Amino acid sequence: MLPVEFCRQSKNNSITLVVTAGVPSLVTLWAELAVRDITEARQVLAWREGRSTQASLGITGFWTSSNSNGPCAPQVAEWADTHKLDGAVWTALGPKFCGVDGRVPTAQEVVAHLASLRGRELQDAERYVRRAPAQIRTNYRREIEEQLGWFPAG
């Protein structure tokens, strides 16, 4: 259970899911990584997020039994312990809107932004929302579905 919402405006103007304080927590998904250690796991995640430098490790939250950092680290620690995991990593990019890090847009602002997109940006934004796992039922997703008709794919 983590507090996630569609409230980060990406470089391509899509609105992506991020861990966001103050929003309802919901069941999230996870996958195992075949890596040697937490540093390699963080590097793999940073690469997946399109970051390739050592400095990019700052975009990852992480937990091990001896160290942790990032939003929701205590919740991740409790969950990881119950699953007998050696470590966990997650994307630790927070909300961002209109170029302002930490700004949590309203659902209406997100819908208006998405509705204003055209061409490739519109296609990419719609694809992201539709491909987000159907069980990720956030308040903003309900607004996007109601206003734009972007329901989960398949």
Residue 104 lies in a domain: yes
Overall domain count for the chain: 1
Domain that holds residue 66: 2-148
Residue 153 lies in a domain: no
Looking at residue 47, its pLDDT comes to 85
pTM (two decimals): 0.88
Nearest-angstrom CA–CA distance, 111 and 141: 9
Residue 113 lies in a domain: yes
Residue 88 lies in a domain: yes
Looking at residue 46, its pLDDT comes to 87
- Residue 123, by phi and psi: left (phi above 0), alpha (psi -120 to 50) or beta? alpha
Residues 6+ apart with CB under 8 A from 25: 1, 2, 3, 4, 75
Q: Over the chain (154 residues), what is each successive 10-residue block's mean pLDDT?
A: 94 94 91 92 86 72 92 90 92 94 97 98 98 95 98 88
Q: Give Dmax over CA atoms of the chain in angstroms.
A: 47
Pairing of strands 68-69, 100-101: unpaired
Residue 36 lies in a domain: yes
Looking at residue 48, its pLDDT comes to 82
Residue 154 lies in a domain: no
